[in-house]
Each structure stands twice: as C-alpha cells, then as structure tokens.
Amino acid sequence: MAAAFVHHHDFILDSLAEGVFTVDLDWRITSFNRAAERITGTPKDQAIGRFCFEVFRADACESGCVIRRTMKAGRPLSNLSVHVYRADKRRIPISVSTALLRDEAGNVVGGVETFQDMSAIRELQRALAKDHSFADIVSKSPAMLRLFHLLPQVAASGSTILIQGASGTGKELVARAIHHHSPQGQGPFVAVNCGALPDTLIESELFGHKAGAFTDARQDRPGRFAMAQNGTIFLDEIGDISPAVQVRLLRVLQEKTYEPLGASRPVATNARIVAATHRDLAQQVRAEHFRDDLYYRVNVFKIDLPPLAARKEDIPLLTEHFIQRYNHLRARSVQGVSREAMAALMQHAWPGNVRELENAIEHAFVLCPGDIIRLEDLPEHLLPASEPPPSEGMTLKAIEREAIVQALRRHQGAKMATAQALGIDKNTLRRKMLRLGISHPTQKTQQTQ
C-alpha cells in the first residue's frame, strides 16, 4: 500500500511542468521530479541523496539558501529570482518558490522547492528592451523613443549636432551613440569639457601649439581637434567658452581649418563636431553672451534631453539597466529592488537626473547584502522623511501652508513633482503658493493666522 502511495506521489510530481524537489533536515534531496531533471540536466538517480547545493550550485546557495530562509522564517517564499548551473555548466535564471514539509504531528521534516526555467522569458525581456534602447541609452518615454527613431538618421548625416539638457541627463552618452552609428564610427571619439578649462588653456587644448608659442612650450603638442581627425570631437559645455574661443571655433566650423598656437599656416580637419550644454543657448544669444553666428553653425540639428523628473516612467527601466551593469562590474547577482525601495525612487525629484539615479544604485550595491536592494540600502536623502505632526493651535490655513512648504522641500522646489505628490494640479499649486505667500521652497515656515 505504501509503495503504491509513493508511486502515485511520484506520478503526480512528474506530471508537473515546474521542477520540484524536496530535502530533509540535512539538506539532502529526497525527491526529484522529471521537470527538475530536464531543467537542471541532472538525472534523478544522481540527485537523490545528494546535498541540494551540490546539484544546483545556485548563486543564492552561499549568500542565502532559499529553503534555509524558509525554515528559519517558518513561512513560504514565492517567485524569487536566482541563477543555477546546469550539469553542463550552463548558467540559467529560474524563479523559485519554497514551503515547509511537516509530518502528521506538525513537525518540520524538510522543505520543498518548486522552480521554473526563466531563460525564454529573459530572452523575450531582452528583445523587448531593444525596442526601448539605443546604444547604452534606455527609455520608454515617448519623447526619448522619438529621439531613438531619429538618431540613426542624425548619426549618418555627418552634420554638426547640439545636445541641450540639464546636468546628468546623459548628453555624452547620446554623443557617443551618434559617433558609433556614424560614418566616423571607426575613428576616435574625443571629449572635451570646455567648462572645466580656463581661457588660458582651452585654445591650446583644442588647437594644440607649436614649440616656442609661449613660455614652457618646448615642443609641438597636438590639440584635441588633431586627436579627433577622422572621428568625432565632443565639446561639452560649449556655452561656457569665452568670446575669443568662440571666434576661433566659428572659423573651424566655417572653413574646416584651425591654426595651432604659434603656427603660420592653417591645418585642415575633418572631425565631426557634437556640442552640448546645460544652458539655453538661444537665451545666451539674446543676452549677448554667445555669438549668434556660432550658435547657428552649431545648431544644425538640436537634441533636447528631458530631465528624469519629466520621464519618471523610465526609472524602473533605468534601475534594471544599472543593476545589470553593476552585476557585471562587481560580479554580483542582484535581481532587483524591493517595492518600498522602488516607491522611494519614484517619489524622488531627481535634481541630478540619470547620473544621480546611477549613483544611488551604485551606493545600494555597497550596502545590499543579498539579491534584492532594500529601502535601507538607498542613499539617506532618498529615504522618506517622517513629518512631525502639525503644532497644536495652528489654523487650517497654516497647516495647508506647512504641507505645501514641506512638499516643496522634499522635491527640491520642483513644482510639477510637488503638485503630483500633493494630488493637485500644477496651476492649483501655483495659486495656493501665491495666496499663502510661499515664494521659495527653502523659505522658513511662518504660521498664518
């Protein structure tokens, strides 16, 4: 009778599409169904009696065995993502769920784990990600997807490109993508941060110099334009260059030549120019801080990169992208972020844009002990603040004012993000700020009686 029950039990397990195995309290495998054989590549007779970590060699076996966590917590776990090594040494992703095994008296006698091969789903996810990426740039916001559609044509055109966007929006990533998809893609990509170079050095850095051109110029030195020959030169923060350098750069764009300092004859260049700035160059022209003729030469095709706060739907996608990057760099197997951590990421105003998000994920990798980034692993400024209750005696008007001021502070003055957090329209927020006398998010709160 017992043998018939065991046979019936095995028949049920073998009919399941998911892999199933059980272990005793010594972590030795006591049953192993047919799907488990197929997924792991290990025959049942070679698995029974062995330690589970010898069969699966999972990433989680050393850092936090899933069944061990179930036995310690006394409750099941569901749909955890881990990687295991098949018998042929191929590493595959699986989704794992666990539960306790108890005898008739209710005593724990082991554990059971069910798992699914997620390889096909991961391949599908990668294929879908290609529709939301261009080179190393990922996004699913409509504005960025339109940009992805245009970038191949822009890259192939050979025209001068101006990239405008706030600091941290990924201007250099876009410039590199344009270069790698252009006819000059096999040539060098030379990046110059114009804002970081003083006026006394920038001309020499860009155009080079001849021996004797100035004190300590003992030998010829090629500039960045010479280094970018047959390739692309990326002029970051072009809005910060002086009027004198603007004149020389205009000549390069008009005549495709430049003169190294101390040279007596011009040098031809075929380097493609991609410029970038966090400033509004049109406004700079109106204020007479930037030459209009240079602006029109640089602005053949303009790319405006939206801030991260304007495309928050990209935060989960970018988070996954950075997790994969740091998994590769740090030899980790972090699978994602907790629900609480993602909520904190979605609520933040991101004044530092995509660069700030990447820094937050790198910070989390330092603190994260397991395969899921927790809320407490994020930088402190991303953690939700516990607001003190309003003081007794405050009027409704004062309480409303306090709530708006605190929300503005949390979102670094970003009115759109503040309005969304408060559940009101941006125009409503503006009217309330005027009515309550709130002129700046860092303004000290005063009770309005």
Distance, in Å, from the CA atom of 70 to the CA atom of 373, rounded to the nearest integer, reads: 19
We find that the CATH architecture of domain 2-122 is 2-Layer Sandwich (3.30)
Instruction: Indicate where the chain has its CATH 3.30.450.20 domain(s).
Output: 2-122
Tokens at residue 277, please?
Answer: 């700035």
Structure confidence at residue 327 (pLDDT): 86
Structure confidence at residue 209 (pLDDT): 79
Structure confidence at residue 2 (pLDDT): 41
CA distances from residue 11 to 67, 295, 311, 350 in whole angstroms, order as listed: 24, 76, 52, 55
Instruction: Please answer whether residues 253 and 297 qualify as being in contact, where contact means their C-beta atoms are separated by less than 8 angstroms.
Output: yes
Structure confidence at residue 332 (pLDDT): 83
Distance, in Å, from the CA atom of 426 to the CA atom of 423, rounded to the nearest integer, reads: 9
Distance, in Å, from the CA atom of 281 to the CA atom of 115, rounded to the nearest integer, reads: 56
Residue 227 CA to its chain's centroid (Å):
31
Q: Is 180 left (phi over 0), alpha (psi -120 to 50) or beta?
A: alpha
Is the alpha carbon torsion for 218, 224, 230, 231 positive or negative? positive
Distance, in Å, from the CA atom of 343 to the CA atom of 341, rounded to the nearest integer, reads: 5
First to last CA, the chain: 84
CATH superfamily of 385-449: Homeodomain-like (1.10.10.60)
Residue 221 pairs with which residues in a beta bridge?
A: 209
Contacts with 50 (C-beta within 8 Å, 6 or more apart), sequence order: 28, 29
The fold for domain 139-304 equals: Rossmann fold (3.40.50)
Distance, in Å, from the CA atom of 307 to the CA atom of 388, rounded to the nearest integer, reads: 31
Contacts with 98 (C-beta within 8 Å, 6 or more apart), sequence order: 66, 67, 69, 70, 76, 77, 111, 112, 113, 114
pTM above 0.75, yes or no: no
Residue 162 pairs with which residues in a beta bridge?
A: 275, 302
The C-alpha angle 308, 163, 305, rounded to 5 degrees, equals 20
CA distances from residue 290 to 233, 246, 296, 420, 428 in whole angstroms, order as listed: 20, 8, 11, 37, 37
Would you give the DSSP letter of residue 26?
T
Instruction: Please answer whether residues 26 and 33 qualify as being in contact, where contact means their C-beta atoms are separated by less than 8 angstroms.
Output: no
Q: Is 43 left (phi over 0), alpha (psi -120 to 50) or beta?
A: beta
Structure confidence at residue 272 (pLDDT): 95
Match domain 310-382 to its CATH number in 1.10.8.60, 3.40.50.970, 1.10.10.10, 3.40.718.10.
1.10.8.60
Instruction: Indicate where the chain has its CATH 1.10.10.60 domain(s).
Output: 385-449
One pLDDT digit (tens) per residue for the chain, 449 residues: 444 444 556 667 777 888 999 999 988 999 999 999 999 999 999 999 999 888 887 766 665 678 888 888 888 887 777 778 888 888 888 888 899 998 888 889 999 999 988 877 666 555 545 555 576 788 888 888 888 888 899 999 989 999 999 999 999 999 999 999 998 899 999 999 998 888 778 888 899 877 766 667 678 888 899 999 999 999 999 999 999 899 999 999 999 999 888 777 889 999 999 999 999 999 999 999 999 999 999 999 999 999 999 999 899 989 988 998 898 888 787 888 988 899 999 999 999 999 999 999 999 999 998 888 999 999 999 987 655 455 555 677 777 788 888 888 877 788 887 887 777 878 888 888 888 888 755 444 443 33
